[in-house]
Structure 1
Amino acid sequence: MDALIFEKDVTFWYETLRLLGHIAYGGADFGEVITTAQRITESDYDSWHKEWRATADRVAGEARRSLAAGHEVSARDGLLRASTYYRSAEFFLHGDPSDPRVDQSYALGVESFRAAARLSDIRIEPVLIPYAHTALTGYLYRAGDSRTPRPTIVMHNGFDGSAEEMHFFGAAAFAERGYHVLTFDGPGQPGPMHREGLVFRPDWEKVVGPVLDYLLALPEVDPERVALLGASMGGLLAPRAAAFEPRIKALIAFDGVYDMGAIVAGHFGEDRDQARAVLGAESAPEVDEIIQGLMANDPVMRWAFTHGMWVTGARSPRGYAAKMLDYHLRDGIAERIRCPTLVCSAPGDFAFQGQPEALHDHLTCPRTFLEFTAEEGADAHCQSGAQRLAMARISDWLDETFRSEK
């Protein structure tokens, strides 16, 4: 979808479209998004934070007044929208994680979402999932009151999104279709990063394994109908987990990603060994200069490197690039996946061009390739702007997959 605003900065436009997409499940309102965006100075991270924080505070304040007056539906709706706006407010500030605005906006977003969840018609319960020496935060959506085992979908976000955002990226959609849903933040994602600084790890099966341990201890979960959905970079992490985790019975890569290191390796003639050696060197001023040039001239690179250093624990942009070489499904990993797999694709994706096709081509399991189009308004990354359409097609696929697996 061509930019309707922020025409010179694809990151600002996509984050605006992402917000507009969340309207579908109550996470934003059109006028609030547009009027806020119109106040923002393009490519100015401080301006972005200032205006989204102002909108979030205003919407949350009105919601609290509604709640105090006994208007619970109005309060719920406002709090859901506020949670999205608070998340957006701190989105571009991660180049300096010590900036107090980062934790403040994040905490307010979680607080708003949890307050909305308590008022929801859907049963949404905050959960703590034991993981290593700590716990992962998430939400359990219980479909109905029946104790009869039901199909369940586990969902996580990707490089920059949260478990709270997964409400709008699929959890609400699956819950209203009768699925139990478990969303969570893994290492590198907002919950663990803000609380403990737990950074990403490529062996995502070590994250999903404890999540499945927790889930499958619940009597209302049918162990033969457990699906895993990963959004954005989660479209690589979830397949990685499924390659080593037989308890996953269906997999959704939303959208598919095969190799996060491909762009990095491309600067070295696809020679990954050379890339790893240069990026890991004690000193490589020419490479540092190239990366600084990319960050100065490309809004996507500017944001990706600043955010990426934080969530991977890298000490420099070059260090972050080196870490990305480990995030892939090469060397036979994709071929290990055995469960039915849906690979979603957005032809206008600014981040992962060709990645869904590469993942699909390497799968040897039962596989489906689902390509959305510009004519449908669904060609953006993770079909932002067409969430109802995307969730209908994805959930229909899962319905039919579990039906045929019986």
Structure 2
Amino acid sequence: MPNLLFPNNTQFWYETLRSMSHIAYGGADFGEVVSTAERITDGDYGSWYTEWVATADRVSAEAEKALAAGHKVSARDGFLRASNYYRSAEFFLHGHPCDRRHDHAYDRSIACFRSAAALYTSPRIEPVEIPYEGTTLPGYLYRADTTGAPRPTLIMHSGFDGTAEELHFSGALAAVERGYTVLTFDGPGQPGPRHHQDLVFRPDWENVITPVVDFAETLPEVDNSRIALLGSSMGGILAPRAAAFEHRLAAVIAVDGVYDLGQISVRNIPGDRKAAEHLLRSESAPELDAAYEQIIAKDATARWAINHGMYVMGVDTPRAFSASYLDYTLADGIAEKIQCPTLVCDAAEDEFFKGQPEQLYDHLTCPRTLMVFTAEEGAGAHCHPGAMRLALARIYDWLDDTLNTSASNSNSNSNSNSA
């Protein structure tokens, strides 16, 4: 999709397109996004924050007025948009250390989303706390109706930088419209646990998903025989990793598929993979450290990714962040351990993980589908922000067909807690 607002900055344009994509499910308005973007100084993180917060403050204030006047639908819609704008505002402020303003915008995003969630009557959206290793993970339970009947269930999480709240616009609402019970959450390294519990990413994501599935199985609205998992962006490696070891899952969806993050870390380092890994993990590598500083200075996308990466991985140098990526892989037979039907999505113009969906697909031995989205469809960018309804329709049609087929050999009321 043409870069219309930030022609010299692909990262600013992608994040603007990301906000536009949420128009489809009530997370933005076109004019609000464009007018905000036009006020932003290209490449200036402070300007990005200031202008998005200004828009979010204005929209949330209007929502408060609507709520006070008894206009609940208008208030709900305003809170949803404000939540998304506050999320965008703090996006570029992470690093080592973080800009101190990032917590304010994040907390406002959560507050606005929860205000909106409380105003929904259909679906019902309930904040939940999922038990996890002596603490909890924040999330939301979406109920398709009030009967309490067990339904096919979709567990959703984002990846490197998305929030559980953003999943409302990029899949949760679309799934519950189709009759699914939906459970969204933030895991370690993702915004809620990183902001407030100091939890950083971990590569053994099955140890995150297993307690989430345990929690889901306690809910009467969940059909335990039809629990699927969707991971987006970096979640495209985390969710398949979990499915390789958590075999209660009936299906897994990678939007988009990722096979080995270590390939990104080593691709610009001379020598073979083993030598590059040794250099990344070395106690001292001053020439490589200097190279990272040059990349940060020249490449806007790398600048953001490295700074955010240090934050979410809990490390203090660009090289340490790159080294951490080496542990996130489905190689060495891990992908082959996945047993459930797997959908691997692929964006034809993905600037982050080009070629990796095909690698994941090629290594799968389970029932598998590769679903390619193109620029001609408006869906060629990473995670398809230009064509959200098109992408979700195809993804959920696959899930409908897969879970209905898998359920034919089981009792659809198999949830032991449904009585």
With the shorter chain as reference, the TM-score category is: over 0.9
- Counterpart mapping for 1:124-203 below 5 A: 124-203=125-204
The letter for the 2-side match of 1:205 is E
Distance (Å, rounded) in 1 between the aligned partners of 2:26 and 2:220:
30
Instruction: Tell me by how many angstroms 1:143 deviates.
Output: 1.1
TM-score normalised over the length of structure 1: 0.98
Asked if the contact 1:157/1:163 (under 8 Å) is kept, the reply is yes
The alpha carbon displacement at 1:328 in A equals 1.0
Deviations 1:43-95 (A, max 9, x none): 10000000000000000000000000000000000000000000000000002
The alpha carbon displacement at 1:219 in A equals 2.1
Shift of 1:224: 1.0
Confirm or deny: 8 A CA contact 1:344 1:371 kept in the other structure: yes
Structure 1: stretches of 5+ with no match in the other structure: none
Q: Which residue is 1:337 aligned to? A: 338
2:87 aligned residue: 87
Shift of 1:266: 1.9
Structure-1 residue corresponding to 2:417: none
Deviation at 1:97, TM superposition (A): 4.7
CA distances 1:310-357 after superposition (whole Å, capped 9, x unpaired): 000111001001001111111011111010011111111111110111
Distance 1:276 1:197 in 2: 27
The one-character-per-residue Cα deviations of 1:97-131 (angstroms, maximum 9, x if unpaired) are 54331000000000000000001131000000000
- Match status 1:14 vs 2:14: yes
The aligned amino acid for 1:311 is: V
Q: How does 1:269-308 map to 2 (within 5 A)?
A: 271-308=272-309
Aligned position for 2:311: 310
State the distance in 2 between where 1:319 and 1:244 align: 27
| Displacement after TM superposition at 1:276 (Å) | 2.5
1:321 partnered with 2:315: no
Q: Name whichever of 210-219 and 83-92 sits farther off.
A: 210-219
Helix, strand or coil: the match of 2:386? coil
Contact 1:83 1:108 survives alignment (8 Å):
yes
More displaced 10-residue stretch of structure 1: 75-84 or 367-376: 367-376
- Which region of structure 1 is more displaced relative to structure 2, 261-270 or 239-248? 261-270
Following superposition, the deviation at residue 268 of structure 1 comes to 3.6
Structure-2 residue corresponding to 1:398? 399
| Alpha-carbon separation, structure 2, partners of 1:347 and 1:390 | 13
Give, in whole Å, the separation in 2 of the partners of 1:380 and 1:271: 30
| Structure 1 residues 46 and 96: alpha-carbon distance in aligned structure 2, compared to 1, 3 A threshold | farther
Q: Aligned partners of 1:5, 1:318: CA distance in 2, in Å?
A: 32
- What residue identity is the alignment partner of 2:113? F
SS in structure 2 at match of 1:349: coil
8 Å Cα contact 1:344/1:369 also seen in 2? yes
Residue 371, structure 1, aligned to residue 372, structure 2: yes
CA distance, structure 2, for counterparts of residue 97 and residue 231 of structure 1: 26
More displaced stretch, 272-281 vs 119-128: 272-281
Contact kept? 1:312, 1:320, Cα under 8 Å: yes
Tell me, yes or no, if the aligned pair for 1:341 and 1:366 is still in contact at 8 Å.
Answer: yes
CA deviations 1:2-24 (Å, max 9, x no partner) are 21111111110000000000000
Matched residue type, 2:108: L
After TM superposition, list the pairs within 5 Å mapping 1:12-51 onto structure 2.
12-51=12-51
Per the TM alignment, residue 30 of structure 1 is displaced from its structure 2 partner at its CA by 0.1
* Equivalent position amino acid for 2:150 in 1: P
Distance in 1 (alpha carbons) for counterparts of 2:371 and 2:128: 32
Larger mean CA deviation between 268-277 and 97-106 belongs to 268-277
Kept after mapping to 2: 8 A contact 1:272/1:325: no
Residue pairs, 1:381-392, within 5 angstroms? 381-392=382-393
What secondary structure does 1:386 align onto?
Answer: helix
| Alignment partners' CA distance in 2, 1:293 and 1:179 | 47
How far, CA to CA, are the matches of 1:383 and 1:223 in structure 2?
Answer: 30
Hey, what does 2:60 align to over in structure 1? 60
Cα offsets for 1:218-265 (capped at 9, x unmatched): 122111100000000000000000000001110100111111110212
Give the secondary-structure state (helix, strand or coil) at the position aligned to 1:159. coil
Separation of aligned partners in 1, 2:211 and 2:399: 23
Report what 2:77 is aligned to: 77
* Contact in 1 for aligned 2:257/2:357 (Cα 8 Å): yes
Does the CA contact (< 8 Å) of 1:236 and 1:256 recur in 2?
A: yes
The amino acid of 1:395's aligned partner reads Y
Residue correspondences, number: 406
- Give me the whole-angstrom Cα distance separating, in 2, the residues matched to 1:270 and 1:165: 40
Q: How far apart, in 2, do the equivalents of 1:25 and 1:270 lie?
A: 47
- CA contact under 8 A between 1:262 and 1:270: conserved in structure 2? no
The 3-state SS of whatever aligns with 2:31 is: helix
RMSD in angstroms over aligned alpha carbons? 1.0
Verify the 8 A CA contact 2:96 2:310 in the aligned structure 1: no
Structure 1 vs Structure 2: percent identity of aligned residues?
A: 62
Cα shift at 1:402: 1.0
Q: Distance in 2 between matches of 1:95 and 1:326?
A: 21
Contact 2:96/2:316, CA 8 A, preserved across alignment: no
Are the counterparts in 2 of residues 257 and 356 from structure 1 also a CA contact under 8 Å?
yes
